[in-house]
Amino acid sequence: MNNSKKKERQERILDAALKLFTERGYFNTTVNDIQFASKMSVGSLYNYFENKESIAVTLYSNLENCLYEALCEIEQQNVSMHDCCHEAVRHIFENTERTPSAMQYLLYTKHREFMPVEKTAFASLPFLKMKTWVEQGQAMGEIRAMDSNVAMNAIFGSAIRMVFLRIDGILEDPLTDYLEECWQCSWRGVSTDE
Amino acid sequence: MNNSKKKERQERILDAALKLFTERGYFNTTVNDIQFASKMSVGSLYNYFENKESIAVTLYSNLENCLYEALCEIEQQNVSMHDCCHEAVRHIFENTERTPSAMQYLLYTKHREFMPVEKTAFASLPFLKMKTWVEQGQAMGEIRAMDSNVAMNAIFGSAIRMVFLRIDGILEDPLTDYLEECWQCSWRGVSTDE
DNA sequence: GTCTATATGACGATAGAC
DNA sequence: GTCTATCGTCATATAGAC
């Protein structure tokens, strides 16, 4: 079959699933809902994906890769670990505004409950990348010496909680409005500068 | 019927449900599982609770009240907002070690998916109480002037992420080992002291 | 490859005996 | 109040026509 058409139909399923999973949750979304939202029959859907779980897994894997690549690019364009981390937070904030469902699914959702295979979010590639930054920053003396998990959370924890607040509809203004204020608190907490 | 026996059986159901909900998630737990784990029949279970959701709601409400009361006590025994917040984090860390399921259900779970009525966690009594502390701390000049949601997350965000890390099994040592290091980062970020 | 119609099984909840 | 047995519903997944 036409390969690009195949791709297009898969995308349509994934888009519909992402929307539904984030709006109502995985368990409150039926295969029929996805089928209906993607304007496709159940039969077709099962032609493209083995089952409902496999849709969720593909979705997660795609979004995870996407974030990982963004982090790699940030890494290439910045030298100090301060800048890398800062740009990572900016990227996450901007993308939460641009594609809220994607960020919600990636950061907010409890995947383990419906993807038994999947490792915890803290063992995902993007998180590991960010952790190496923190450890490098500590080795280079930019970031105070302390347990690297603590440092990691001190730098990114409050930012991620901001994403949660935004997703839950508590923050009315776009996340990017809070970026600098939020970042300065985080960095002040771990920086070796007085 | 003997009122204390009634209470005792309800507790047994709630305990079993909490254990299962946190281990497998709400949707992966069947009423039969709860019935079996609480060594009770389905009939009895439905005698004590209207339905499965009502078990989840009662559980959440109990734990929320419990945390709220602990915060009220902390508030009474400390004067500075620094000390209140610090003790709150200590309480959360200690209780995550003491009763991990309770803290997991309270802080980590996405309640909205199975309790449509429930407000978001950020609108719960404990969170609102902590927010008033932060705002008071800002009014009194202890905490830097900034958006109160940002300040809130700067103070508690990384601590809550630490709880997540611990629940996910990433941290091997008890949370209390990380308390001071974690707190110092948070407080340095928002404090008005140089 | 795509569709409709249907099989299969599980879950929440109830009925009714004791 | 407590139990066992069962009902009704609905979701996932498949079968089979086109």
A136 has pLDDT over 90: yes
A1 has pLDDT over 70: no
| Location of structure tokens 């490792």 | A119
Give B190's contacts in chain A (Cβ within 8 Å).
Answer: 185
CB contact B120 to A (< 8 Å):
yes
A165 has pLDDT over 90: yes
B82 has pLDDT over 90: yes
Closest-approach nucleotide to residue B52, Cα vs C1'? C12
CB contact A66 to B (< 8 Å):
no
pLDDT at A91: 98
Cβ contact, residue pair B122, A165, below 8 Å: yes
A31 has pLDDT over 90: yes
**Over chain A, what HEC string results?**
CCHHHHHHHHHHHHHHHHHHHHHHCCCCCCHHHHHHHCCCCHHHHHHHCCCHHHHHHHHHHHHHHHHHHHHHHHHHHCCCHHHHHHHHHHHHHHHHHHCHHHHHHHHHCCHHHCCCCCCCHHHCHHHHHHHHHHHHHHHCCCECCCCHHHHHHHHHHHHHHHHHHHHCCCCCCCHHHHHHHHHHHHHHHHECCC
**Cα B50 to Cα A68: distance, rounded to the nearest angstrom:** 46
Q: Delimit the domains of chain A by residue range.
A: 1-49, 59-188
Query: What percent of chain B shows pLDDT beyond 70?
Result: 99
Across the range B77-101, mean pLDDT stands at 98
- The CATH architecture assigned to A1-49 reads Orthogonal Bundle (1.10)
Give B192's contacts in chain A (Cβ within 8 Å).
Answer: none
pLDDT tens for A87-134 read 999 999 999 999 999 999 999 999 999 998 788 998 999 999 999 999
- Please name the residues in contact with B135: beta carbons below 8 A apart, sequence gap of 6 or more: B148
Give A123's contacts in chain B (Cβ within 8 Å).
Answer: 170
Q: At what angle do helices B52-77 and B81-98 cross, to 10 degrees?
A: 140
pLDDT at B4: 84
Among chain B residues 20-39, those with CB within 7 Å of any atom of strand C: 29-32
The pair of three-digit structure tokens given for residue A4, joined into one six-digit string: 């690009």
The shortest CB-CB distance from B188 to any of A161, A162, A188 is to A188
Mean pLDDT, chain B, as a whole number?
Answer: 96
What is the pTM for the complete model shown? Answer: 0.97
pLDDT at A2: 79
- Please name the residues in contact with B184: beta carbons below 8 A apart, sequence gap of 6 or more: A189
Specify the CATH class of B59-188 in words: mainly alpha
Mean pLDDT, chain A, as a whole number?
Answer: 96
CB contact A28 to B (< 8 Å):
yes
pLDDT tens for B17-53 read 999 999 999 999 999 999 999 999 999 999 999 999 9
CA of B184 to C1' of D11 (A): 50
pLDDT tens for B117-167 read 788 998 999 999 999 999 999 999 999 999 999 999 999 999 999 999 999
Is B121 or A181 the better-scoring residue by pLDDT? A181
Q: List the beta bridge partners of residue B191.
A: B143
pLDDT at B11: 97
